[in-house]
A and B are shown apart, each in its own frame.
Chain A
């Protein structure tokens, strides 16, 4: 564990420090041509320094902005630090961003130099060269396919390092000059600009200082007791604050090893080989692994399947309690130990989670079933909440206080408050300097006394004292009688059931809440097969009364869960229907990233919404659909509407109200 040393206030200083103190320990690994290559801190310093001096020779200087485009590779991480050593500011961008978006960011940030991964990115940057008059130099890591390109402004990473090494060898004072340059940097310097992919309008460049990120990293490392023995896999986009912090700043501060996968699609295998101890993943990843397991188990032999089911049952009952250090009878501990030997251990090993000490999930709500499953397996999976403007997270769950539906307590040095409108605000040492070249937006988001508006609606849970996020603040509405209505919260609760693929909650400015539901054709289809329900199309399956019964039981459970939540209990689902067609981006109902376009859907299915509130039990609907080849057609159907039971509002609330 690194002590908080005042003189270590920039990342290049940490690099030099680590090379001295833990020089022989691994700093980075990369799987290349099937073999893991390792760089110690001392070796990494040499690589970074050579590249940094090469960059200086190419003309990069203090205050310049330069961009990094590509997937997680050691050289791209080195490039960040190499530029920072000169006082230049890295602006990593999403490698898969559309050209227009990327051009906007690079032009806005006024980058003069780009370090990119390969030919694909070189092509992309060259194509937008006209819009980037300041961009003078392009450096690439992977040379394949670039042999015949005009190299007047194009140079390989290795060649830049060669320039640096030559300079070092020929100029005796070069090293001292470089180190003096590093020493000149200070904590309050701008260290990075991270562009956030705004859901509305253009991206904004979040400016963070070294202090912002390094203090946050110190706090995070202390909170979870992370030290130089950790192993992490860097696989999330480098332009995202999470990766910047987890795979770069925290690693430098704690001195742990960052492993770069061979390719984006080998992450699971690479993780198995490395055995990461600390992991971060969006809920989707945990969900996929679990689905994969379930599917494979369904194909296994009867004995294996029985054993699996039995021990998973044991784990679900006792696993979390054992993990949280609660009192558990000896017999249960024994059973759990046997299960670990035969089921949990091999299962975790399969996905490279054998050595995992700590895993985080964030970004979206995670299904409680999935969350509990991994915890029952003995994986310390926790949730956190944060934003780029906070230089990573502001709340996290302490060990032993883990819940599926909260995002934790304020992290050290972080203050959180809820505004009158229910919006979450925070203040911390990690709070960003401002949006690059956008003081107006900065003023909108950050108050003069340092509070940052998150745009998320949330509240502190009375039971656990932890923060709960319910929705984007602008989406949270109210029913006619003033009851809080958070559509996404209700939809997420519904979507946690595998049988429900999408859900649309309706209720803003209405008398009560209704839901339109899309069933998951794979899950419900396999249920239909097992239960001899015959159907020819999605439409027919969706209309089957037995499917309605099944979905109704899910809705009922959601209502019961909602009734137990103080703020949400008034917004239970009174009526629901199953849509006759799947929501589809081609029809403008979902965005390309599968996010719901609620407003558009409510307009499009107007007759159904009307039927919800005029009491009809069926409704006729005809919708135009776009087929994959582009031609349009109409699907007409008569959709049934079910009424649901509303649970009484929780007693505690009534007492307080009285």
Chain B
């Protein structure tokens, strides 16, 4: 009864294109001439062994790092350089490998913080919290409540996130990213450190976000089973270079990928 997912029906337009991007820290080359694209509506995975440059790649995409070479096109606009703030305003939201939540604030407030960019009334209005500012806050609260309902975290709505177990904190972080109503959602190891059940829940939510809101998702993940099940296309990095870019099935069979994961000495295989 289910319609085929976007991955099978042919892909949407290119939402984000990375062309020939290189990044180095001093003498360390984190990324070397990497190119790939992310199409609207897909779940795109970036995988690779430890230190392959996956997180660096995400950081370049959302403007946290500035690439020394290459260019990035987002929604048809070529970006020379971009601040994370501008990326966020432009519709890119992300979660972090290590949690970055406001630990003393409640789940509700953390997710509401994700709406900060959408608040139009200025500081003065927020302060008196009346009239238009109140109406605006009510509307934001409604959106946040929808997310709380969506992620099934109603029971922890008013609990400071510092007191929550890790798996739930990850979910709150996803909620905060969703609150931005992003065009592109970057998830940095959304399932790291989770047990099997938490992973299943999280996978379910990622698929639901993609289908319900049509959000394009790029994720980094170590768990191969999860990656192969979730994603429409996979790009594989190793030592800062792209070594494969295809569907999960083909990537699984790719000799370079197998070699990278089995850990043959670098240089021998190349």
Contacts and interface: CB of A to CB of B under 8 A. Distances in A.
Interface of A: 32-35, 126, 144-145, 147-150, 154, 262-263, 265-266, 269
Interface in B112-158: 141-142, 145-146, 148-150, 152, 154-155, 157-158
B261 to A, nearest CB: 24
A510 B211 CA distance: 64
Contacts of B1: 126, 149-150, 154
B2 A149 contact: yes
Contacts of A33: 142, 145-146, 148-149
Interface residues of B, number: 18
Contacts of B150: 144
Contacts of B157: 34
B212 A145 contact: yes
B270 interface: no
A150 B152 CA distance: 26
Contacts of A35: 145
A70 to B, nearest CB: 15
A114 B2 CA distance: 19
6 contacts: A145-B208, A148-B2, A149-B3, A263-B155, A265-B154, A265-B155
Pick from B1, B148, B149 the residue with the most CB of A within 10 Å.
Answer: B1
Contacts of B148: 33-34
A33 B140 CA distance: 12
Contacts of A144: 150, 208, 212
Nearest to A35: B145
Nearest to B141: A34
B208 A262 contact: no
Contacts of B208: 144-145
A559 to B, nearest CB: 43
A33 B144 CA distance: 9
Interface of B: 1-3, 141-142, 145-146, 148-150, 152, 154-155, 157-158, 208, 211-212
Pick from B142, B148, B154 the residue with the most CB of A within 10 Å.
Answer: B154
A33 B142 CA distance: 7
Nearest to B144: A34
Given A147-B211, A148-B211, 13 more contacts: A33-B148, A34-B141, A35-B145, A144-B208, A144-B212, A145-B208, A145-B211, A149-B1, A262-B154, A263-B152, A263-B155, A265-B154, A265-B155
B110 to A, nearest CB: 15
B63 to A, nearest CB: 33
Contacts of A34: 141, 145, 148, 154, 157
Contacts of A262: 154
Contacts of B158: 269
Contacts of B154: 34, 262-263, 265-266
Pick from A33, A262, A265, A269 the residue with the most CB of B within 10 Å.
Answer: A33
A266 B155 contact: yes
Nearest to A34: B145
Contacts of B152: 263
B172 to A, nearest CB: 15
A21 B213 CA distance: 45
A33 B145 CA distance: 5
B3 A148 contact: yes
A336 to B, nearest CB: 32
A150 B1 CA distance: 5
A269 B153 CA distance: 13
Contacts of A269: 155, 158
A128 to B, nearest CB: 13
A430 to B, nearest CB: 36
B175 to A, nearest CB: 13
Nearest to A32: B149
Nearest to B158: A269
Contacts of B212: 144-145, 147
A145 to B, nearest CB: 6
B197 to A, nearest CB: 14
A262 B154 CA distance: 7
Contacts of A150: 1
A242 to B, nearest CB: 23
A154 B152 CA distance: 24
A262 to B, nearest CB: 5
B133 to A, nearest CB: 20
Nearest to A266: B155
A463 to B, nearest CB: 44
Give the 4 A-B residue pairs with the shortest CB-CB distance, closest first.
A148-B3, A33-B145, A265-B155, A150-B1
Contacts of A145: 208, 211-212
B43 to A, nearest CB: 16
Contacts of A148: 2-3, 211
B136 to A, nearest CB: 17
Nearest to B4: A148
A175 B160 CA distance: 52
A202 to B, nearest CB: 29
A371 to B, nearest CB: 27
A144 B207 CA distance: 12
A103 to B, nearest CB: 17
Nearest to A145: B208
A265 B152 CA distance: 10
A568 to B, nearest CB: 42
Pick from B2, B3, B146, B208 the residue with the most CB of A within 10 Å.
Answer: B2
A541 B155 CA distance: 37
A150 B208 CA distance: 18
Contacts of B3: 148-149
A119 to B, nearest CB: 9
Nearest to A261: B154
Contacts of A265: 154-155
B257 to A, nearest CB: 28
A266 B159 CA distance: 12
A327 B2 CA distance: 69
Contacts of A126: 1
A647 to B, nearest CB: 48
Contacts of A147: 211-212
Nearest to A265: B155
A223 B142 CA distance: 44
Nearest to B152: A263
A132 to B, nearest CB: 15
Contacts of B2: 148-149
Contacts of A32: 149
Contacts of B146: 33
A144 B149 CA distance: 11
A263 B151 CA distance: 12
Contacts of B155: 263, 265-266, 269
Nearest to A153: B1
A348 B2 CA distance: 48
Nearest to A150: B1
A331 to B, nearest CB: 41
A555 B169 CA distance: 45
A126 B3 CA distance: 15
A269 B148 CA distance: 15
A32 B155 CA distance: 12
Contacts of A263: 152, 154-155
A386 to B, nearest CB: 31
A286 to B, nearest CB: 20
A148 B152 CA distance: 21
Contacts of B141: 34
A164 to B, nearest CB: 25
B108 to A, nearest CB: 8
A265 B150 CA distance: 15
A349 to B, nearest CB: 16
A147 B211 CA distance: 9
B16 to A, nearest CB: 25
Nearest to A119: B208
A148 B148 CA distance: 23
Pick from A34, A35, A144 the residue with the most CB of B within 10 Å.
Answer: A34
Contacts of B145: 33-35
A145 B157 CA distance: 23
Nearest to B157: A34
Contacts of A154: 1
